[in-house]
């Protein structure tokens, strides 16, 4: 328990006045999380926020991922904000452009444009303990003050380029899935795709009919299950618009089904995993007739250990005459194409990197200095940890959306994000209404939480194989080990006793 304390700068005059009257809030990132946060602040009657977005448009993932076939593999009614349900989704699984249009509509509906600062990258943040506020520095050298910061910068944003020798030497057209070059026409070209993850399974079937030859370079095959996509007819959409209760029912059904089948995906329970593996292998048999090809496509790790791939047509693409699967391992990239370890050269006109993203949530997005000048880079040097993935001890008034250990392997990430938003709004209200200088999650509370998370992690499937979920030392700082409802029940409430609360006239110690 912290004893009450006062400092020389406990009466910061103008800061205090600014804090209580205007209470500036910075939201970093205008993707799903940032927009959801802004809407909930508006609903709470708080308008003193600014959304900083480094790109020139809102949307995050759904602005950046415009590759052919880009879509969400979580059903549309579940992959939308519960407080902004949309009856107009045209498909069970929405394409990226429809999701981006949904987000743009929300920005207009909630009049967020006036709060947006596009093309403004925050490059440093520093907490002033006496003033109870953050100073954010922009790329352009401007300083901005905020009493609270909500970091919604996303976890999978910056493309990861493969460390393959000769990558730069390739003379053809080369781009990453999240930086698709729409000016380059793939028609009739010899195209190579490196990677067979969630992005690749959408790209491959979409471009296969268009290109002359498609060579897919696979390092690890993934478990694929049927998507069973469907079109929502005009009639269905009209009905959903007239009867919003049906939309909530549909969402609830999709959510509870994913929770019901969740243990098959996240538990290290081979008997449960076998259910998923059988479903996937039946799908493989139905899609691929050639047993040799089937053997190459069959994963050898436990179901759920890497992200489950959801597609109705990925495996079937390899039945096409113009699509080839290469599993020999890439030796190097040469000016004309790719040379594999067995010495074969594949001549290519274009090379598509479906090689995933740098794990943004594993490190501070830019230098962040908390209380006593602590640096988040240093605090996270052995792995990203936070309390419920949404607050970091020593970094007061700073809230995270989609922070460490909040990713799901089995359901919509937005369920988690909404709980974080709710928590952050409640904390901000407490800060503002009670005129607190800061709220800082207690270190003992954060440590206990993370010990429990890592204990539970031992019963999960993820430590059993190599994936982007794990940090180099094998610890999982990405996913939440359990059901979404457990996370939501634990995270959605702001509990003052879990925080150290500082007033402008000195500390008040939280009850234990």
The 345-347 sheet, strands edge to edge: 330-334, 337-340, 345-347
Instruction: Report the C-alpha gap between 459 and 389 in whole angstroms.
Output: 20
Stretch that binds ligand NAP, among 24-32, 268-276, 349-357, 415-423 (CB under 6 A): 349-357
Binding mask 137-166 for ligand NAP (x = CB under 6 A): -------------------x-----xxx--
Closest distance to ligand NAP from the beta carbon of 70 (Å): 7
Closest distance to ligand NAP from the beta carbon of 161 (Å): 8
Which one of residues 78, 116, 211, 330 is an interface residue with ligand NAP (CB under 6 A)? 330
Looking at the Cβ atoms of 357 and 449, the one nearer to ligand NAP is 357
Tokens representing residue 12 in the block: 């910061």
> Scanning residues 212 to 271, which ones bind ligand NAP (CB under 6 A)?
219-220
Is 360 among the residues that bind ligand NAP (CB under 6 A)? no
Stretch that binds ligand NAP, among 110-118, 291-299, 352-360, 415-423 (CB under 6 A): 352-360
Looking at the Cβ atoms of 148 and 305, the one nearer to ligand NAP is 305
Closest distance to ligand NAP from the beta carbon of 266 (Å): 14
> Scanning residues 164 to 203, which ones bind ligand NAP (CB under 6 A)?
164, 177, 194-200
Distances (CA, A) of 207 to 144, 202, 230, 397, 413: 45, 9, 21, 46, 28
Is 73 among the residues that bind ligand NAP (CB under 6 A)? yes
Closest distance to ligand NAP from the beta carbon of 163 (Å): 6
By CB under 6 A, how many residues form the interface with ligand NAP? 24
Distances (CA, A) of 455 to 235, 448, 459, 460, 487: 49, 11, 8, 10, 15
Q: Where are the alpha helices (DSSP H) in 85-157?
A: 96-109
Binding mask 296-325 for ligand NAP (x = CB under 6 A): -----------x------------------
Distances (CA, A) of 486 to 62, 135, 499: 28, 35, 21
The 122-128 sheet, strands edge to edge: 143-146, 133-138, 122-128, 368-369
Closest distance to ligand NAP from the beta carbon of 268 (Å): 19
Looking at the Cβ atoms of 37 and 194, the one nearer to ligand NAP is 194
Is 101 among the residues that bind ligand NAP (CB under 6 A)? no
Instruction: Report the C-alpha gap between 317 and 321 in whole angstroms.
Output: 9
Looking at the Cβ atoms of 15 and 309, the one nearer to ligand NAP is 309
Instruction: Report the C-alpha gap between 99 and 78 in whole angstroms.
Output: 12
Closest distance to ligand NAP from the beta carbon of 225 (Å): 13
Closest distance to ligand NAP from the beta carbon of 22 (Å): 38
The 323-326 sheet, strands edge to edge: 173-176, 350-353, 190-194, 213-217, 323-326
3-class SS shares of the chain: helix, strand, coil, % to 5:
35, 20, 45
Tokens representing residue 270 in the block: 């081979």
- Interface residues with ligand NAP (CB under 6 A)? 72-74, 156, 162-164, 177, 194-200, 219-220, 307, 330, 354-357, 468
């Amino acid at each position: 328990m912290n004893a009450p304390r006062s400092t020389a700068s406990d009466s910061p005059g103008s800061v205090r006045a600014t804090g209580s009257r205007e209470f500036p809030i910075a939201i970093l990132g205008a993707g799903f999380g940032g927009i959801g946060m802004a809407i909930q602040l508006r609903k709470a009657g708080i308008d003193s926020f600014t959304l900083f977005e480094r790109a020139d448009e809102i949307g995050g993932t759904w602005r950046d991922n415009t590759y052919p076939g880009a879509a969400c593999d979580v059903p549309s009614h579940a992959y939308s904000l519960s407080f902004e349900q949309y009856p107009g989704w045209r498909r069970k699984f929405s394409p990226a452009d429809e999701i981006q249009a949904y987000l743009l509509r929300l920005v207009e509906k909630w009049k967020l444009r006036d709060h947006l600062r596009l093309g403004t990258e925050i490059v440093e943040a520093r907490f002033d303990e006496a003033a109870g506020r953050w100073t954010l520095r922009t790329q352009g050298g401007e300083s901005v003050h905020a009493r609270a910061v909500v970091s919604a910068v996303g976890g999978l944003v910056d493309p990861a380029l493969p460390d393959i020798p000769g990558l730069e030497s390739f003379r053809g057209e080369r781009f990453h899935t999240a930086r698709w070059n729409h000016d380059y026409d793939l028609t009739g070209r010899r195209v190579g795709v490196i990677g067979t993850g969630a992005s690749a399974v959408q790209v491959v079937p979409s471009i296969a009919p268009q290109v002359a030859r498609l060579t897919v370079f696979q390092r690890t095959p993934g478990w694929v299950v049927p998507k069973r996509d469907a079109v929502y007819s005009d009639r269905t959409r009209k009905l959903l618009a007239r009867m919003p209760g049906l939309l909530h029912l549909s969402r609830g059904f999709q959510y509870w089904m994913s929770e019901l089948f969740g243990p098959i995906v996240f538990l290290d329970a081979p008997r449960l995993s076998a259910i998923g593996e059988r479903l996937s292998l039946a799908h493989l048999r139905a899609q691929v007739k050639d047993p040799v090809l089937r053997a190459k496509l069959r994963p050898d790790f436990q179901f759920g250990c890497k992200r489950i791939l959801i597609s109705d047509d990925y495996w079937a693409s390899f039945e096409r005459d113009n699509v080839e699967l290469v599993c020999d391992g890439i030796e190097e990239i040469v000016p004309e194409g790719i040379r594999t370890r067995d010495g074969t050269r594949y001549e290519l006109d274009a090379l598509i990197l479906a090689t995933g993203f740098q794990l943004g949530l594993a490190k501070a997005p830019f230098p962040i200095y908390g209380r006593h000048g602590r640096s988040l880079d240093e605090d996270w040097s052995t792995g990203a940890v936070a309390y419920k993935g949404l607050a970091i001890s020593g970094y007061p008034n700073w809230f995270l959306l989609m922070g460490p250990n909040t990713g799901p392997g089995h359901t919509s990430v937005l369920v988690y994000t909404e709980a974080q938003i709710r928590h952050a709004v409640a904390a901000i209200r407490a800060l503002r209404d009670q005129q607190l200088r800061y709220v800082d999650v207690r270190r003992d509370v954060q440590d206990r939480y993370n010990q429990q998370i890592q204990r539970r992690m031992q019963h999960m499937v993820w430590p059993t194989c190599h994936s982007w979920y794990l940090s180099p030392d094998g610890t999982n700082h990405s996913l939440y080990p359990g059901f979404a409802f457990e996370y939501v029940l634990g995270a959605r409430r702001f509990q003052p006793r879990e925080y150290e609360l500082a007033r402008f006239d000195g500390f008040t110690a939280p009850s234990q």
